[in-house]
Amino acid sequence: MSYNLLKGKKGIIFGALDANSIAWKTAERVHEEGGEFVLTNAPIAMRMGQIDELAKKTGSQIIPADATSLEDLEKLVTESMEILGGKIDFVLHSIGMSVNVRKGKAYTDQNYDWTQKGTDVSAMSFHKVMQTLYKHDAMNEWGSIVALSYMAAQRVFPDYNDMADNKAYLESIARSFGYFMGRDKKVRVNTISQSPTPTTAGQGVKGFDGFIAYADKMSPLGNATALDCANYTVSMFSDLTKRVTLQNLYNDGGFSNMGVSDYIMESFIENEEKK
């Protein structure tokens, strides 16, 4: 169902890889709601994914960009404004990567060069994106910037590894830069803390199926899907959320406020009785 919530709005969507990714679903929903956008991803990710298919489907152009490179981001922002015919109204930052996770390095045995690379890609890139937008005065007033996060920024999920630190840093950048974006540009900045979602990126985390099943049984509404996140992001890009900024918003079926659920408690008691 379309409500034309983003009619006439223009933006940039980072991180669409394949049909499982939240950025991909968001691009589809933004298109359905009347928004136009430029798609961007790192050249290496573009070779792995099917972004051309999404561009065709949504009538969008693609600009390859490494989000850790200021030079690439300058080019992305200036070219996007040319393609879209002026300033932009929304940006989705859907980027995260940990080499330590990918290579099976435990949190207690980090390769710090890899840690730094992950921080640069997953969090520092968000600062670089906003700094570039800020310096170019590229956003319309009441524009909206959203980055995707996860609850490991607040709580311990041992196998989420250094990505937990990256998400904590990402959320801090959203607040800190969000202040200046709000004060100087009337632009809002938020993060969405999404349920664990079976995306290509997420599945690299050890025990990920367990994460998903546990969160689903803990949450009164069950896990939020990639499409749920896309819909929430659309609402954050729309004029209906004009004064929401500096927030980390949970889209997780209620997980973040749960201590324990009946199902988890019953399973635990059952296991204890079997011992």
* Residues designated as active site: 150, 160
* 3-class secondary structure, 194: strand
Query: Any known ligand binding at 62?
Result: no
265 Cα distance to chain centroid: 32
Query: Any known ligand binding at 15?
Result: yes
Query: Any known ligand binding at 193?
Result: no
Query: Any known ligand binding at 95?
Result: yes
Query: Any known ligand binding at 22?
Result: yes
Burial (CB < 10 A; 0-12, 13-18, 19+), residue 266, is: exposed
Contact 17, 24 (CB under 8 A): yes
Burial (CB < 10 A; 0-12, 13-18, 19+), residue 268, is: exposed
Contact 89, 144 (CB under 8 A): yes
Residue list for the binding site for NAD(+)? 15, 21-22, 95, 167
